[in-house]
Structure 1
């Protein structure tokens, strides 16, 4: 077996946090990541930040993709990050956000630990390449 074959697939959790009920984009990115060879878990709709944290820890994910369109990103994303820190999972998890995030809010989210923010219309290849390049390597 080559080193590439021995390395496990990148594990991702695509999460819908809060009361945001629009999940078409989350389904599209979930399918694209699976087609790219990633192992992907989808949280389903209306998850609380602590539910997302529990799922990320239990599934031992490398990447947490938070899909949010509700405008509550400045409240909910920090709660998820804080929860990951409490479980000691923050340092080993690449956090990306997808959705409608105003430019004025992007810098603050990145300062909290979000690696990248993907808005509507981002090519799937761009998102996949970013995750491949930045996901933590695990045996």
Structure 2
């Protein structure tokens, strides 16, 4: 796929809350980097405020949140509200973890992008972020 941005897609990969399971986030970060994206990994125990501030400072196209703690219905709405407050409404918020389908549907209504369950291939995640960025970020 041609990069229609003429620059690498920039993605912030975040682990929010007290969830210390970061292997999946690191695998995703490495896969995105291997696919030619610029990746900023926040490390563990980030707050939604820290994630949004990092996204603003790093001028990212997308934020990928890894969450296995069950706090997705708190974390994603807070990130979306903070992005809106800071007028960063053109940034994709996506993520993955253990998120029930009914919760995924509610988060989609709030503007959260596709959420990936365990077992999703990294190539599917790369393609989704690339396609979204190419269609929505033309600068």
Structure 2 partner of 1:50: 49
Q: TM-score, normalised by structure 2?
A: 0.93
Secondary structure (helix, strand or coil) at the match of 2:126 reads: helix
The answer to whether the aligner puts 1:32 opposite 2:42 as a matched pair is no
**In structure 1, C-alpha distance between the alignment counterparts of 2:79 and 2:3, rounded to whole Å:** 31
Structure 2 partner of 1:22: 21
Query: How far does residue 20 in structure 1 lie from its aligned partner after superposition?
Result: 0.8
**In structure 1, C-alpha distance between the alignment counterparts of 2:3 and 2:77, rounded to whole Å:** 34
- Specify every segment of 5 or more residues in structure 2 that has no aligned partner in the other structure, as ranges: none
Deviations 1:78-109 (A, max 9, x none): 1111001011002x101111111011211001
- Are 2:5 and 2:137, in contact at CA under 8 Å, matched by a contact in 1? no
Query: How far does residue 8 in structure 1 lie from its aligned partner after superposition?
Result: 1.3
Secondary structure (helix, strand or coil) at the match of 1:89 reads: coil
**In structure 1, C-alpha distance between the alignment counterparts of 2:75 and 2:121, rounded to whole Å:** 25
Matches within 5 A, 1:107-126: 107-126=105-124
Structure 2 partner of 1:133: 131
Secondary structure (helix, strand or coil) at the match of 2:123 reads: helix
Query: How far does residue 6 in structure 1 lie from its aligned partner after superposition?
Result: 7.0
- Are 1:67 and 1:98, in contact at CA under 8 Å, matched by a contact in 2? yes
Quote the RMSD (CA, aligned, Å). Answer: 1.5
Deviations 1:39-94 (A, max 9, x none): 0000110001100010011100001001100000001111111001011002x101
- Specify every segment of 5 or more residues in structure 1 that has no aligned partner in the other structure, as ranges: none
